[in-house]
Chains A and B, each alone.
Chain A
């Protein structure tokens, strides 16, 4: 500690003892902040106070001696102070590593949505924390097919991010060799089962939309399939489909399902961050979700997805405990 601080502190004490004003107390509080910035430990502060007393008059021996006890006690506080400082710098390093991981993860998903003359795509995907456990992909093919993936990986954080890059590259390399979505999931399941922790699993809906025939062929692995809106009837239906989540069994087989979209029909794909939503003390009910969807029907697919996200965020008091992804396909 420098001489300067000592002088300053003695002066502050002297001024205070002369008048006992709030001014000096305020100065002392500000000094505390400054001392913390200079990394002055509690025990050093005690020592400084003890030395400062000697300048102010005759210090009784029992007061002088009592400082030994106080110093000894404060060393533990000092240790804690030093440990917080070191944890803070580690935390900073960790945060910057997370930021890199998060940026890498964002590069795994499509940066812009494809545009078609009579199909609109809307998308909202928001991570609850820095790293998302939701994965989605939209891949266009020359033959007019539009392949959609929506997926939820158990757990969040680094393990989810690593699993996600495995999913993406496995799907890319499987992509052209396969016939249908059922085959895609069957092969992907084998890759996932062999390569992830036994307690992890992945839920997924994968399908291809034929932008000429307006037919969506898909398969489901442990994922909640979503909704289809029939404009003619003005009604929402649950999409059908079931299948074992990826990574549970080495030899899971999947079934192919199909929906056809007429003009005005809407397909809504989602992850459980949308449906497993706590509103106050109860969970969002499926019928409520449908009524919120219904209220947004007149708009474009993207506006509908955006509005629904805002609506649900408002309802849950701006808390987003789980990763949220919604993909909307609307035939115009």
Chain B
């Protein structure tokens, strides 16, 4: 399976919606897109929506760790929303769940 991305932008907030598989093959593409948003001047909040993610492995989790670290450096808020249960489980086991802002329920 492949990964598709949809990005909604306004001046201060970017929403990156991922759909499909996030793994070693598709991960770099997702990371590049999210990092572009993080590094855009004026963007204060980057939200990543995972409601359409079907599969994520540890390389995928690694992306969120990398993005989280980058956000800390540039002072941007990083929010992850609508985690499917398998992904949520990975976030909880690795401890990432306690480090990023998690938003639930409000699928667009």
Q: Which residues of A pack against B, CB within 8 Å?
A: 152, 154-156, 197-201, 203, 221-224, 242-245, 247-249, 252, 272, 276, 283, 322
User: Does B70 belong to the interface (CB within 8 Å)?
Assistant: yes
Interface size bucket, B side?
20 to 34
| Cα distance A244–B99 in the bound complex, in angstroms | 9
Chain B, interface SS category: helix
| Cα distance A154–B24 in the bound complex, in angstroms | 10
| Cα distance A10–B31 in the bound complex, in angstroms | 60
| Cα distance A118–B63 in the bound complex, in angstroms | 44
User: Does B96 belong to the interface (CB within 8 Å)?
Assistant: yes
Q: A152-B58, A154-B59, A283-B86 are in contact. Are A199 and B65 (CB under 8 A)?
A: yes
Q: A198-B66, A199-B31 are in contact. Are A155 and B95 (CB under 8 A)?
A: no
Q: A203-B94, A242-B93, A242-B95 are in contact. Are A198 and B65 (CB under 8 A)?
A: yes
Given contacts A222-B94, A224-B93, 6 further A-B contacts (CB under 8 A): A198-B65, A201-B65, A203-B94, A245-B96, A272-B58, A283-B86
Contact A244 B94 (CB under 8 A): yes
Across the interface, name the chain A residue whose C-beta is closest to B67.
A199
| Cα distance A152–B98 in the bound complex, in angstroms | 20
8 Å CB contact of A154 from B62, B69, B93, B95: B62
| Cα distance A203–B57 in the bound complex, in angstroms | 13
Q: Which residues of B pack against A, CB within 8 Å?
A: 24, 31, 57-59, 61-63, 65-66, 69-70, 86, 92-96, 98-99
- B76 → chain A closest CB, angstroms: 15
Contacts of A248 in B (CB 8 A): 65, 94-96, 99
Contact B99 A201 (CB under 8 A): no
Contacts of A276 in B (CB 8 A): 57
| Cα distance A116–B24 in the bound complex, in angstroms | 41
Contacts of B31 in A (CB 8 A): 199
| Cα distance A168–B19 in the bound complex, in angstroms | 38
Contact A222 B93 (CB under 8 A): yes
Across the interface, name the chain B residue whose C-beta is closest to A153.
B58
- B92 → chain A closest CB, angstroms: 8
Contacts of B96 in A (CB 8 A): 245, 248
A–B pairs, 21, beta carbons within 8 Å:
A154-B62, A155-B58, A155-B59, A156-B24, A198-B65, A199-B62, A199-B66, A201-B61, A201-B62, A203-B94, A242-B92, A242-B93, A242-B95, A244-B95, A244-B98, A245-B94, A247-B65, A248-B95, A249-B99, A276-B57, A283-B86
Contacts of A243 in B (CB 8 A): 95
Contact B70 A198 (CB under 8 A): yes
Contact B99 A154 (CB under 8 A): no
Contacts of A252 in B (CB 8 A): 95
- B10 → chain A closest CB, angstroms: 27
Contacts of B92 in A (CB 8 A): 242
- B30 → chain A closest CB, angstroms: 11
Across the interface, name the chain B residue whose C-beta is closest to A248.
B65
| Cα distance A152–B99 in the bound complex, in angstroms | 20
| Cα distance A163–B72 in the bound complex, in angstroms | 25
Contact B93 A155 (CB under 8 A): no
| Cα distance A116–B14 in the bound complex, in angstroms | 59
